[in-house]
Chains A and B, each alone.
Chain A
Amino acid sequence: MPRPAPERPRRSSLTPFYAILGVVLLVGIGFLVTQATRKKNAGANAPPQAALTLTPEQLQRVKGISRGRDDAPITIYEFADFQCPHCAQYAALLEPVILERLVDTGKARYVFYEFPLGFKWSWLAARAGRCANEQGKFWDFHTLLFARQGEWAFDTDPLTRWRPLAEQAGMDGKKFEECVRSDRYLKDVTESQQLGNSLGVGGTPTLFVNGRKLDSPAITSYAAFEAEVRRIAPSAFGDSPAPAAAPAGPTAPIGQTPAPGTTAP
């Protein structure tokens, strides 16, 4: 009688496969968790703000586009890109409130600097903004440009979209178009971007108040923004200065006097 064949130990041939799948899953989850926590801790590990203050020499080099009283006690500097979606959100939600409550009331002067990030039309839009400034319509045009960003951002010829906006803002459309088609403001925009780079502007919008760079949470709401501005320049609101023990940071080097290099439309 033949002896029955010995039974081989049964082991799923899929075990190594499941092990590989498990390792990939663990590594992936680890990466996702690291990414989530890294971004949360980024603010806590940020370098001290004193390292990011503007100096008068830096501002004298580059002309920004200014709005408000030259002798206002607060100076707000914005570095922005017309094609950046976050800038469009900021321009639609927070900037109008800042302009209404701080700039139009004489408490602050607002200076806009271009910081083209490298979107398809970042540079051309920045130059178009300068062309609008040439006709004294920068602020109206800048509002329209941000509001209609979704319409022109991926157009093959954005100028056909911008000219009607320029005319809507009260500009001479022909002059505007000629200006945008020229290289007239390439140097100004380049210098503006270089200034941003030298100040450590990495993303947009980036705001400085009296030379002090604001963290992202300070521009999430007007309440947060004003709280930060009050902390930096309490006297502008009639507040008494923060006590020495408070984490007020170093005194900003500029802001009490207008930057001589800025232009007013």
Chain B
Amino acid sequence: MSGAQAELDGSHGAYEHPAAPPLARMAIAVLALIGLLVASYLSLYKLGIIGGLTCTVGSCEQVQASPWAVLLGIPVSLWGAGAYVTLLAVAILGLQPRFVNARWVALALFGLSAVGVAFSGYLTYIEAVVIEMWCQWCVTSAVIITLIFLLSIPGLRRAR
């Protein structure tokens, strides 16, 4: 049976069937892009490029003015933007046929998003317990990174 025939009838002979791009990884890339835009919005505010934040729920500017909005001298939102750029790049790379089953891609997405979930959890705790104010954009980012983390789990099984 020719390789082309195998591709047509879906059987797996000597021909190596190219893996279909996983939908979960596409979703991760889209979510990472949305997260990047949210983090960029907060970073632009923190850097003084945008004069104020649109905040229909919570007190975004008050939360952004707190000491927890800066880590090692760099706005937390800028750290977030860096993390989302990395996640986006890895997810897009992981959609290319050559890397679809690459173990390092699955591990990188899982590991990076796990760190993100842990840090977002800490920041959400600070908002709830210490500052006692909410920032809708921070909560949005926390939800996004949690979804990315959950979507990265099936990739681990695929890469085994």
- Where the two chains meet, the residues of A that have a C-beta atom closer than 8 Å to any C-beta of B are 4-5, 7, 13-14, 17, 20-21, 24-25, 28-29, 31-32, 35-36, 39-40, 42, 84-85, 117-120, 150, 153-154
Contact partners of B2 in chain A: CB under 8 A: 4-5
* Stretch in B30-38, B101-109, B117-125 touching the partner: B30-38
The distance in angstroms between the C-alpha atoms of A85 and B4, with both chains bound, is 67
* Stretch in B60-68, B73-81, B140-148, B150-158 touching the partner: B60-68
Flag whether B139 is at the interface (Cβ < 8 A). Answer: no
- Where the two chains meet, the residues of B that have a C-beta atom closer than 8 Å to any C-beta of A are 2, 4-5, 8, 20-21, 26, 29-30, 33-34, 37, 40-41, 44, 49-52, 54, 59, 62, 65-67, 95, 130-133
- Please tell me which one of the listed residues A24, A85, A117, A118 contacts residue B30 in the complex, with CB atoms under 8 A apart: A24
Can you offer 27 A-B residue contacts whose CB atoms are under 8 A? A13-B20, A17-B21, A17-B30, A17-B95, A20-B30, A21-B29, A21-B33, A24-B30, A24-B33, A25-B33, A28-B40, A31-B37, A31-B41, A32-B37, A32-B40, A32-B44, A35-B41, A35-B50, A35-B54, A36-B50, A39-B52, A118-B59, A119-B62, A120-B133, A153-B66, A154-B67, A154-B131
- Whether B33 lies near A13 (C-beta < 8 A) is no
- Whether A5 lies near B5 (C-beta < 8 A) is yes
- Whether A4 lies near B37 (C-beta < 8 A) is no
- Whether A39 lies near B8 (C-beta < 8 A) is no
In angstroms, how far is the closest chain A Cβ from the Cβ of B95? 6
Give A27's nearest chain B residue, CB to CB. B37
Contact partners of A35 in chain B: CB under 8 A: 41, 44, 50, 54
- Whether B21 lies near A120 (C-beta < 8 A) is no
- Whether B4 lies near A24 (C-beta < 8 A) is no
The distance in angstroms between the C-alpha atoms of A118 and B65, with both chains bound, is 13
Give B18's nearest chain A residue, CB to CB. A13
Contact partners of B20 in chain A: CB under 8 A: 13
Give B59's nearest chain A residue, CB to CB. A118
- Whether A28 lies near B51 (C-beta < 8 A) is no
- Whether A36 lies near B67 (C-beta < 8 A) is no
- Whether A28 lies near B34 (C-beta < 8 A) is yes
- Please tell me which one of the listed residues A14, A20, A117 contacts residue B62 in the complex, with CB atoms under 8 A apart: A117
- Whether B67 lies near A150 (C-beta < 8 A) is yes
Contact partners of A4 in chain B: CB under 8 A: 2, 4
Give B37's nearest chain A residue, CB to CB. A28
In angstroms, how far is the closest chain A Cβ from the Cβ of B29? 6
Give A43's nearest chain B residue, CB to CB. B51
The distance in angstroms between the C-alpha atoms of A5 and B5, with both chains bound, is 7
Contact partners of A5 in chain B: CB under 8 A: 2, 4-5, 8
The distance in angstroms between the C-alpha atoms of A85 and B54, with both chains bound, is 18
Contact partners of B131 in chain A: CB under 8 A: 120, 154
8 A-B pairs with least C-beta separation: A28-B37, A39-B51, A5-B4, A85-B65, A17-B26, A24-B33, A36-B50, A120-B132
The distance in angstroms between the C-alpha atoms of A5 and B2, with both chains bound, is 9
- Whether A154 lies near B49 (C-beta < 8 A) is no
Q: A32-B50, A35-B41 are in contact. List 11 more A-B contacts (CB 8 A).
A: A4-B2, A13-B20, A14-B21, A14-B95, A20-B30, A31-B41, A35-B54, A40-B51, A84-B65, A119-B133, A120-B131
- Whether A39 lies near B26 (C-beta < 8 A) is no
Contact partners of A25 in chain B: CB under 8 A: 33, 37
The distance in angstroms between the C-alpha atoms of A153 and B21, with both chains bound, is 50
In angstroms, how far is the closest chain A Cβ from the Cβ of B17? 13
In angstroms, how far is the closest chain B Cβ from the Cβ of A146? 14
In angstroms, how far is the closest chain A Cβ from the Cβ of B74? 18
In angstroms, how far is the closest chain B Cβ from the Cβ of A219? 14
In angstroms, how far is the closest chain A Cβ from the Cβ of B27? 10
Give A18's nearest chain B residue, CB to CB. B92
The distance in angstroms between the C-alpha atoms of A21 and B51, with both chains bound, is 28
In angstroms, how far is the closest chain B Cβ from the Cβ of A49? 20
- Whether A42 lies near B51 (C-beta < 8 A) is yes
The distance in angstroms between the C-alpha atoms of A153 and B44, with both chains bound, is 24
